[in-house]
Chains A and B, each alone.
Chain A
Amino acid sequence: MNTSQDSVNITPLANIKILVVEDSETMRTLLTALLSAMGIGEIICATNGDEGVAAFAAHAPDLIITDGMMQPMTGYAMTRAIRAMHEHNGSDVPVVMLSGHGDPDIVEWARDEGVNDYIVKPVTPQLLYERVLAAIEKPLHIVESGIYRGPSPRRRLTAHHAATDTNKAG
């Protein structure tokens, strides 16, 4: 039997709800297991952008972790759609993209669609842990104008790599 000292539940993340949008079953299993190990309280999964939009509306997650290239709706298009869901505060939810593509033009595309943070696969436990904590702890800075509410289109988006974790695009 575990005592409270045995269990690794000392980071108080039990109130956090994360939506994982990923078409690869193995990657979904991996992410769910790693987020559970981090002590995340609720993890919802969707297998493409369309399901992601529906799950966002239904569950109001605190954070979204999404793949980029999925069919029929990509993670990029899903992020844009969610940013436009003003009735669900879609502009305010942090979106972390987890993609196999680290090319600067693709990272810029993600930024333009409203992605807040970008991880290039393969992911390691430490990198995932760091980026989730960063997303949870960073205050959100939103731009509001007549036609737009969401992350500043002029912000810098850094592509984080497991090996070097260096900046690949701005």
Chain B
Amino acid sequence: MTTEQQNLATARFVRLPSIAERKMGPGYIAPVRLDPRVLEQMQQTISVLGRQYCDTLSRQIHELLPQIVDVCSGVAGARHRFYETVHDMRGLAGTFGHPIVGRFAKSLCGYMEKFDVIDATIVRFYVEAMRDALEQDKPDERLADETLRSLEQLIIRTGMADPTAFKQHAG
């Protein structure tokens, strides 16, 4: 029997008390239910922070546009900074009521993750689509779907035209 087999043979399962059982005292009765008043307070928090975030998002998008040439021509550090900003938008825009901006950011992140060489025109389309979605009171979801599909088709065609643009590890 190998050491690994011996370890597996002697493995045992331990049930530890939950955090609630350990920390919430004798008054704890399972389960703790979602409290609508707490949820309301959390929603208010989002509303307050969302007003500040909208300004930040607008500024970030406008700052992305002049960076595109540097990002796509390989200026040291430019691509990393650009990706970090877009990645931030991908995680936050949806939470603060801008889901379409978040979807474009997610798709742009995916493009940057898959390709070593990225096309300035495609990146510009993405950033302009995010800017337009933010500036509209009620962005058109169907138009966003179509734009995303078109961009992803364009990316596939670009990749087929220049397979070396794909990252080494990308499938």
Residues of A whose CB lies within 8 Å of any CB of B are 8, 10-13, 15-16, 24, 26-27, 29-30, 33-34, 36-39, 62-63, 69, 92, 94, 100, 121-126, 128-130, 133, 135-148, 152, 162
Judge whether B39 and A26 touch: CB under 8 Å: no
Nearest CB in chain B: distance from A34 CB, A: 5
- Summed over the interface, the residue pairs from A and B with CB atoms below 8 Å come to a total of 149
Judge whether B11 and A145 touch: CB under 8 Å: yes
Q: How far is the CA of A37 from the CA of B44 in the complex (A)?
A: 9
Nearest CB in chain A: distance from B47 CB, A: 10
Judge whether B16 and A24 touch: CB under 8 Å: no
Judge whether B14 and A142 touch: CB under 8 Å: yes
Residues of B whose CB lies within 8 Å of any CB of A are 3-4, 6-8, 10-25, 27-28, 30-32, 34-35, 37-46, 49, 53, 56, 87-88, 90-95, 99, 102, 106, 109
Contacts of A62 in B (CB 8 A): 19, 22-23
Judge whether A37 and B95 touch: CB under 8 Å: no
Contacts of A135 in B (CB 8 A): 19
Q: Which residue of A lies closest to B6 (CB)?
A: A146
Judge whether B45 and A37 touch: CB under 8 Å: yes
Q: How far is the CA of A27 from the CA of B167 in the complex (A)?
A: 29
Judge whether A125 and B94 touch: CB under 8 Å: no
Contacts of A129 in B (CB 8 A): 34, 38-39, 42
Contacts of A121 in B (CB 8 A): 90-92, 94-95
